[in-house]
């Protein structure tokens, strides 16, 4: 039997004419629309399942603040436990509906930091989904059910997220990184909040920000990860969805520079005052929707 090897890019539509390799010999075939769709679906499935056969992963977007929310679940576990990173109040109901449709059990609604450009959805989600616990860093001085610190692990089923302190955009920024070891996603995935954006980074001129601290945080805690590690930021304004550590080391327009150049760039951005900061920060210090009870202050095991 001849071995067919598809040359496909899982993130792009296939062209009308695609190449197949027959034992090293290139031949050109014309695919029907249905064949292209099937091949694309298979390629996408292969790409996604390559992370981990246990991991369900969804990247969601809130257009007004250009915020990404991430859903991760261990579907290999009987209870299918899930975590939600950086939810937004305006899309909380969308996220809850998706969680129900996928049949996963949300256990943690998490933030990478105290956001200044939107109100977190953790409070709304806690009020509508029984048993969900909110998570934020202790260094942020915000309220949550679980206050985490550098080096903690957040378990959901047999998968986990490692917590790394990446302050500089704010005092309490953290990056959540998928686990390292058997059955954990490969390549690893880093949810960097505003500390590291695709080809950029968050501003450092408010909420205890420091350009020097951000530079050292990213270079010591993110750029030391394997270069294949996937970067998933809290925002993107140019249509990018994912990057890698290797790409950002080479091509980040700010953090690929030396420290002094980076500091000069950050001190001369001349950005406008965030329009939501006076509403978002006070609300987010209280777990989002004010008045939602917070059950405890213990770090997750």
| 209 neighbors 169 (Cβ within 8 angstroms) | yes
Looking at the fold, whether 77 and 210 belong to one and the same domain comes out as: yes
Alpha-carbon torsion (70, 76, 77, 80), positive or negative: positive
* Residue predicted with more confidence, 221 or 31: 221
Euclidean distance between CA atoms 222 and 288, whole angstroms: 27
What is the mean predicted confidence (pLDDT) over 148-162? 98
**pLDDT confidence of residue 293:** 56
* Residue predicted with more confidence, 33 or 66: 66
Asked if pLDDT for residue 299 goes beyond 70, the answer is no
* Residue predicted with more confidence, 46 or 222: 222
Give the number of domains in the chain.
2
Asked if pLDDT for residue 46 goes beyond 50, the answer is no
Full domain range(s) for residue 7: 2-44
Looking at the fold, whether 25 and 169 belong to one and the same domain comes out as: no
Alpha-carbon torsion (62, 44, 180, 188), positive or negative: negative
Mean pLDDT of the chain: 85
| 212 neighbors 263 (Cβ within 8 angstroms) | yes
pTM over 0.85: no
Asked if pLDDT for residue 78 goes beyond 50, the answer is yes
Asked if pLDDT for residue 162 goes beyond 60, the answer is yes
- Does the residue 64 lie in any domain? yes
228-248: pLDDT as tens digits? 999 999 999 999 999 999 999
- Does the residue 187 lie in any domain? yes
What is the mean predicted confidence (pLDDT) over 105-126? 97
Looking at the fold, whether 18 and 128 belong to one and the same domain comes out as: no
| 172 neighbors 194 (Cβ within 8 angstroms) | no
- Does the residue 301 lie in any domain? no
Looking at the fold, whether 232 and 198 belong to one and the same domain comes out as: yes
Looking at the fold, whether 65 and 161 belong to one and the same domain comes out as: yes
Asked if pLDDT for residue 42 goes beyond 60, the answer is no
Looking at the fold, whether 207 and 149 belong to one and the same domain comes out as: yes
Looking at the fold, whether 158 and 245 belong to one and the same domain comes out as: yes
């Amino acid at each position: 039997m001849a071995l067919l090897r598809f040359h496909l890019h899982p993130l792009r539509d296939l062209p009308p004419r695609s190449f197949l390799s027959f034992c090293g010999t290139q031949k050109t075939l014309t695919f029907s629309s249905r064949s292209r769709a099937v091949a694309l679906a298979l390629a996408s499935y292969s790409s996604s399942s390559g992370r981990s056969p246990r991991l369900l992963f969804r990247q969601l977007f809130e257009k007004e603040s250009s915020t990404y929310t991430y859903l991760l679940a261990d579907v290999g576990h009987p209870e299918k436990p899930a975590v939600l990173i950086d939810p937004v109040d305006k899309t909380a109901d969308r996220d809850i509906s998706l969680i129900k449709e996928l049949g996963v059990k949300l256990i943690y609604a998490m933030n990478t930091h105290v956001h200044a450009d939107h109100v977190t959805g953790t409070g709304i989600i806690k009020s509508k989904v029984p048993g969900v616990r909110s998570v934020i860093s202790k260094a942020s001085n915000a309220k949550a059910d679980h206050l985490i610190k550098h080096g903690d692990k957040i378990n959901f089923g047999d998968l986990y997220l490692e917590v790394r302190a990446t302050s500089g955009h704010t005092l309490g920024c953290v990056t959540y990184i998928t686990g390292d070891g058997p059955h954990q996603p490969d390549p690893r995935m880093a949810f960097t909040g505003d500390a590291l954006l695709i080809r950029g980074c968050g501003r450092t001129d408010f909420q205890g920000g420091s350009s020097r601290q951000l530079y050292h945080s990213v270079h010591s805690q993110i750029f030391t990860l394997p270069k294949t590690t996937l970067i998933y930021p809290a925002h993107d304004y140019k249509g990018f969805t994912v990057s890698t550590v290797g790409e950002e080391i080479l091509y980040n327009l700010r953090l690929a520079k030396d420290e002094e150049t980076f500091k000069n760039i950050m001190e001369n951005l001349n950005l406008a005052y965030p329009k939501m900061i006076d509403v978002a920060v006070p609300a987010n210090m209280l777990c989002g929707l004010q008045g939602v009870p917070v059950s405890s202050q213990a770090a997750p095991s």
